Structure 1
Amino acid sequence: MADRYPARRVLVVCDLLRCRFALSPLWETQEAVRTLARPGRHGYHLPWLRRIEETAAGLDLEPLWRLMPDGGHNPDFLCPPPIGPLAGFEEELAAVRAVDPSVAADDMALALADMPGGTGSPAGRRMLADPARTVQELADLLERAWHLMIEPHWPRLRALLEADIAYHSRRLAEIGFERLLGELSPQLRWTGSTLTVTGTRGNHARVLGGEGLVLMPSVFVWPDVVGGYEPPWLPAVIYPARGIGGLWTEAADRTPDVLARLLGRARADVLCALDEPAGTTALAHRLSLAPSSVSEHLSVLRAAGLLTSRRYGHQVLYERTPLGIALTAGAP
């Protein structure tokens, strides 16, 4: 998967008719493993990282990390697009174990070539020398990571992912495919018959030709948008799920007093209300405050580095930065 590269997808009418949403426990497991090695992803997941720290220390994740170059090819066979909307982890893992070893070898070779010293290293040569054995070892490692890191939290993760799919399915019916893409992520753009996934380097294109497209929310992919999957797999776009800012925080009846003393009650209320991106009007309604007051608080919080903002259509959406998340998650 060229998931760290800008990508273009040329869609035809049949593709739009065959677009579907899906979620994948195997994908979340793989991306959780990647998140452990990517400090830039830690902000939203600090409570989870603290909970699994001891457990993760007992896993040797190096074989998986060796196939996860930052800015290069990542093997598709390790996490193909989900078989269906309700596929379970065991079913998805069985598909990994059944992959053709020659297909896996080609996939791994591309990833190792993008990892400094990957192909020529003893570990890299060992992986490619017996791809059938390597596939089973990687599948075993993903299975252990699932049971120890993700499965205990899966009901919470699945609820968030299903809520995202329900919301965006309604939005698709209300506003259409083109506008929906802008809501999924500012990195997605639809022009004519071309879907573009923007990034930081490289270029990758694929004409879909009626295959359709899988749209998949992910808890752990933030801040990236992943566009990829080469034949024989269906193409997919994976985007950050809505509401991950409040995923690991426990529900509270009110803003914590310690945070209110630090920021002021009204300002702390605004920060705590942003469990998911929202605009000034929505926050004002939620908090029973004047929009002008909420706007002022948002400006101060953004200037202090606790919020970011982005414009979508005629409104500006605000969401917490990692620092803002840490403040709301760390308050007793």
Structure 2
Amino acid sequence: MLTVAFSAYDVTSIRFAYSPLREISASVHALRTPAGRALHLPWFKQVRPNLTADLAPLLDLIPGGAYIPDFLCPIPTVPTPDLAGELAALRALPDEVIRGDLDRMTSWPTCGPLEGTAIELYENPGPALDRLAQAIGAYWRIAIAPHWSRMRNLLEGDLLYRAGRLAQDGPAGVFADMHPAIRWEDRTLYLQQRPQELSRVLKGEGLLLIASVFVWPGLFHRTDSPGQPIITYPVRAIATLWERGTAPAPDALAAVIGRSRALLLTELDTPASTTDLSRRTGLAAASVSEQLALLLSAGLVTKHRVGRAMLYVRTPRAQSLLDD
């Protein structure tokens, strides 16, 4: 078990983010290790037939072992980065950073010796990094881009939810429903998933929590000293990601506030944008905007900007109506 003790300053230095490049890496890892990932089966079936030889520079680097090279899992410098910025940073990495990560990769017993693209990256990182970036872009277009709108809504909604829990209940609220392997008690974080016993006392480094779709049902973590500890955890409401259709609105509520508005409230189990609500409900985007404005004025939803998205969330008043 890992234990991480927080100073008072570190408690206030918890931040949240997501990373498109990390999501790509986690998705390739999920493709390589599909056991226990039944929720992603619809995505697996859609993507696998489209994986082509030109994706090898990426696929070769994530064979399915316990370690993914750190240069494929960048540390977000802002809460909601974009892939273009992360690829630019990847191309600019010094050769010694690439080689250092590949050396760590070979030290993991489940990874084995370097092969294919990994050898090219080690021997001549510059040209190989360009080919890797091109493969990442191609994989993004095939596997992630068609679903990114829904994925981003879940990710940004989770950031909004966690920030709210931190403000309302402190770290105990953040970690209470994050993952069964995580426990918070007496200003100490306990991570049961780690097989080795390790203790660390933070001295101002803070903690970065990265929401992820494809890390489910596990966790990725980098918690060794030095540097800021990082935990990549499963986004909330992951079970809804590949669902099609929408839940029926309660008849009694629909009779009072109208079926369209009741339907939108039903869909707001997690924060969502106008575009996503339109796609999920079949309502025109203009109609969704109009109905949300009415729900907002009635105090049944609130809206929050997260990155470039405006996300709507139902209020406790709306929740009580649905519960009744």
Taking structure 2 as the reference length, the TM-score comes to 0.69
Residue 36 of structure 1 pairs with residue 34 of structure 2: no
Aligned to 1:321: none
- For residue 55 of structure 1, what is the aligned residue in structure 2? 50
User: Percent identity over the alignment?
Assistant: 31
Q: Which shows bigger deviation, 194-203 or 73-82?
A: 194-203
Candidates 82, 102, 124, aligned match of 1:108: 102
SS in 2 for 1:110: helix
Instruction: For 2:321 and 2:35, locate their aligned partners in 1 and report how far apart those are by CA, in whole Å.
Output: 33
After superposition, what is the alpha-carbon deviation per residue over 1:217-258, rounded to whole angstroms, capped at 9, x for unaligned? 111101112221667864321111111111111123559xxx
1:101·1:135 contact (CA, 8 Å) conserved in 2?
A: no
Identify the residue that residue 9 of structure 2 maps to in structure 1: 14
Aligned counterpart for 1:165 among listed residues 159, 167, 173: 159
Alignment deviations for residues 3-51 of structure 1 (CA, whole Å, 9 cap, x no partner): xxx5443332222222111111111111111111111253111222222
1:14-163 maps to which residues of 2 (within 5 A)?
A: 14-57=9-52, 59-61=54-56, 63-67=58-62, 69-71=64-66, 73-116=67-110, 118-119=112-113, 125-163=119-157
Residues 56 and 117 in structure 2, CA contact (< 8 A), matched pair in contact too: no
Give the residue type in structure 2 aligned to 1:32: S
Establish whether residue 220 from structure 1 lines up as the match of residue 219 from structure 2: no
CA RMSD of aligned residues (A): 3.3
- The answer to whether residue 187 in structure 2 is matched with residue 180 in structure 1 is no
Matches of 2:119 and 2:144, distance apart in 1: 30
Cα separation, partners in 2 of 1:117 and 1:234, compared to 1, 3 Å: closer
Normalising by structure 1, we get a TM-score of 0.67
Does the 8 A contact of 1:25 with 1:89 survive in 2?
A: yes
Provide the secondary structure at the position in 2 that maps to 1:40: coil
Give the match's secondary structure for 2:184: strand
Q: 1:127 to 1:108 in 2, by over 3 A?
A: same
Q: Whole-Å Cα distance in 1 between the matches of residues 196 and 182 of structure 2?
A: 16
**Inter-CA distance 127–41: structure 2 relative to 1 (3 Å threshold):** farther
- Displacement after TM superposition at 1:140 (Å): 2.6
- Please tell me the residue identity of whatever aligns with 1:22: A
Q: CA deviation at 1:154?
A: 0.8
**Range with greater deviation from structure 2 (116-125 or 216-225):** 116-125
Change in Cα spacing, 1:234 to 1:68, as seen in structure 2 (3 Å) is farther
Amino acid corresponding to residue 168 of structure 2 in structure 1: E
State the SS of the aligned residue for 2:23.
Answer: helix
The letter for the 2-side match of 1:145 is Y
Distance 1:42 1:107 in 2: 27
Q: Distance in 1 between matches of 2:92 and 2:114?
A: 27
Query: Cα distance 1:124–1:216, how it changes in 2: closer, same or farther (>3 A)?
Result: closer
1:77 is paired with a residue of what secondary structure? helix
Number of aligned residue pairs: give it. Answer: 260
Letter paired with 1:12? S
CA distance in 2, matches of 1:142, 1:106: 21
Partner SS, residue 21 of structure 1? strand
Unaligned 5+ runs, structure 2 = 250-266, 271-318
User: Shift in Å at residue 188 of structure 1?
Assistant: 1.2
The alignment status of 1:235 with 2:243, answered yes or no, reads no
CA distance in 1, matches of 2:137, 2:64: 21
> What is the CA deviation profile of residues 165-199 of structure 1, one whole-angstrom value per residue up to 9, with x for unaligned ones?
22222222222202421211121123444323221
Change (3 A) 1:203 1:149: farther
Query: What code does the residue aligned with 2:37 have?
Result: H
Structure 2 residue 183 is matched with structure 1 residue 189:
yes
Distance 1:118 1:225 in 2: 22
CA change 1:200–1:29 in 2 (3 A) is: same
Give the distance between the partners of 2:173 and 2:111, measured in 1 at CA: 43
